Chains A and B, each alone.
Chain A
Amino acid sequence: MVGHKHKFLKNIGLLILVLLIVLFSIFPFIQMLSTSLKYSWDWGNPSLIPTEVNWSAYSEILGIGEQAEIDIPDSVKKLLDETPNLNDEQRSAIIDKYSDNSDVFPFFKYFWNSIRFSLTASLCSLIIAIFGAYSIARMKYRGQKLIQRGVLFVYMVGGILLLIPLYKISSAIGLSATQGGTTLSLVIIYMVQTLPVCLYMLGNSFRSIPFSIEEAAFIEGYSRFQTIVKIIIPISFSAIATVWVYSFMIAWNEYLFASVFLKSFSQMHTLPIALKALFVSKNAIWDRISAASLLTAIPVVILFMLIQNFLSGNKAEGGVKE
């Protein structure tokens, strides 16, 4: 009887602990959601449930509903009318300057920029890493051990250690002068940031594939290359997806290099620098910054939830019998 009660108390204790851990983990997200739906007069209200739900932060960020008015001062309008020798480009540049209303946060532009940078960099580095990691994990040649150790070493070199030299190099070869060049250097830098992680993680996963599977493929007459493409990649699909999500996330989250390289190219700004700029630019924007934060988190959270399901099904198990 006493033992029963003891166990009951223990279970209650465990549940409270679980609850606390979950609360600690998700509280910032709940608060984000709550703040994004509150009116500004409601921000100081410690309750997480908005007194009155306000969707304006979302409709503004996502550009739903009324378009922001283009507010060009009369003097400028006059100037535009009276100087016909302005070409279209100059004209639209002037209009842009005034219609770049700081109240409007072009979320989709930044979102799209982030997507392009992250997708390109993560896919390129994934493809390079699949073959590189296979070679390091499975093939024998001189220098293979050295490369393997080198990868582990560069895996730990953080971005801040490379920022100054890479910035100097990119401006020395003239890449940082143009938007295209800057975009290219940033994509390459994101590739470099993700490549060591990809090589390391994929190498570990390839090493865990039983040799007998590959041997069977060789006996069937497959070449090395065919084996990689037709056997290794499908078997490691879940590992490859996981690694891809990781490298996508690294690029998606990157702030340091973007802030330095894209400083003068606001057209190419990614979400992290845009959010930081939005926050610094003015006061009293908690609803919009919360909404933008949530929307920025959603793609990577969805990707992670997807690979969580991948991870449960281990494809290598069906392929071989010892």
Chain B
Amino acid sequence: MSNTKLTLEEKDARLGLKLVLPSVTIIALLIIYPIFYNIYLSFFDVKLNGDAFFIGIKNYTNVLSDITFWKAVGTTFFYVIATTALTTIMGLIVALVMNKNFPARTIVRSLVLLPYVAPVISTVYSWQFFFDPVNGIFMHLMVDVFHLADNRFNLIADPKYAIWVAIIFSMWKAFPFTYLMILSRLQSIDQTLYEAVEIDGGGGIRKFISITLPELYFVMGSIVLLRFIWNFNKFEEVYLLTDNVKVLSVYTYFKAFTGSMDLGQGSALVVIQFSLLVVLIILYVKKVLKW
């Protein structure tokens, strides 16, 4: 009796492995192996014709002694921190508003999802047009309506301003996701908690601080970390909007695939970026998921 049960379980386990095998194979061959291959490549001078010469840690010393690399690291952290903060705040505000009753709420919710749903490539040009020095509405407002600037200028071409455009764009693209996550948590808050505060004579602000925020703590924590990790790797949202904001991904892309196409140094850059990412992921897992 117990013998047949065991073989049944064994059979089940074998089927389980078979079912997961395609996924595991693909991930192992095309994600895990490339990660290690990339580490290997980072110790080589990779020529365009495919030849590679071992050069030890030269790629790393080259990267680390390059001031533009450190600028890219600074830009990346600034971009990631600003986008994460703004996206989360915007998501929270929108979630609080959407939790209220107002006319046409269903259609409003659909419309608010549009930035998240639309492809990056189809939204960047509208943003560029908005900031276009000749035709854009932004410069029209700045110069002709509010007289905040004397002349129209190309905002996106100036790295100083371009990074802010990239940050606002990223917030615009990602806040619907954040708001949806927060809203679903918001709707599961026990309403009697609010009634209790009301009985104690607490108003709207009291309710928000002593109930809403603590209840949202965990979902906000996980959103912040996930957004941090995702935006750390962002390429398209920055590069397609403007090539003047050199976050690490864009910096690596330029190093490895334009000009002299230095794949070896590109690999070293990726290893550095990956190591930073792993630290972030471990943090995420320790803090939020608690395996």
Majority-rule SS of A interface residues: helix
B198 within 8 A of A: no
Within 8 A of A (CB), among B241-291: 249, 252-253, 256-257, 263, 266-267, 270, 273-274, 277, 281, 284-285, 289, 291
Q: Are the C-beta atoms of B126 and A131 separated by less than 8 Å?
A: no
- CB closest chain-B residue, reference A274: B121
**Distance to closest chain A CB from B44 (angstroms):** 10
Q: Determine if A275 and B122 form an interchain contact, defined as CB atoms under 8 angstroms apart.
A: yes
Q: Does B75 contact A (CB under 8 A)?
A: no
Please tell me the size bucket of the interface on A.
35 or more
Partner of B291, one of A140, A149, A260: A149
Residues of A within 8 A of B121 (CB): 253, 255, 271-272, 275-276, 293, 296
Is A159 positioned at the interface, with any CB of B under 8 Å from its CB? yes
Closest chain B residue, CB of each to CB of A301? B117
User: Which chain A residues in 55-71 approach chain B with CB under 8 Å?
Assistant: none
Q: B139-173 vs A: 1/0 string, CB under 8 Å? A: 01100000000000000000000000000000010
Q: Is the beta-carbon distance between A255 and B240 smaller than 8 angstroms?
A: yes
Q: Is the CB of B236 within 8 A of A256?
A: yes
Residues of A contacting B236 with CB < 8 Å? Answer: 253-256, 272
Q: Dominant SS at the B interface?
A: helix
Q: Which B residues are in CB contact (< 8 Å) with A292?
A: 122
Mask for B23-47, Cβ within 8 A of A = 1, else 0? 1101100111011011001000010
Stretch at the interface among A24-32, A76-84, A101-109, A313-321: A24-32
Lowest 6 A-B CB distances belong to which pairs?
Answer: A158-B233, A139-B16, A132-B23, A165-B34, A141-B13, A293-B122
30 sample A-B contacts, Cβ–Cβ < 8 Å, listed by A number: A14-B97, A18-B102, A21-B97, A25-B176, A26-B111, A29-B126, A31-B126, A44-B135, A46-B140, A128-B22, A131-B20, A135-B20, A139-B16, A149-B291, A151-B23, A152-B285, A157-B233, A158-B233, A163-B270, A165-B34, A165-B37, A165-B267, A166-B34, A191-B26, A255-B120, A296-B119, A296-B122, A297-B122, A305-B110, A308-B110
Residues of A that sit less than 8 Å from B by CB: 11, 14-15, 17-18, 21-22, 24-26, 28-29, 31-32, 35, 43-44, 46, 128-129, 131-136, 139-144, 147, 149-154, 156-169, 171-172, 188-189, 191-192, 195-196, 199, 224-225, 249, 252-256, 260, 271-272, 275-276, 279, 286, 289-290, 292-294, 296-297, 300-301, 304-305, 308
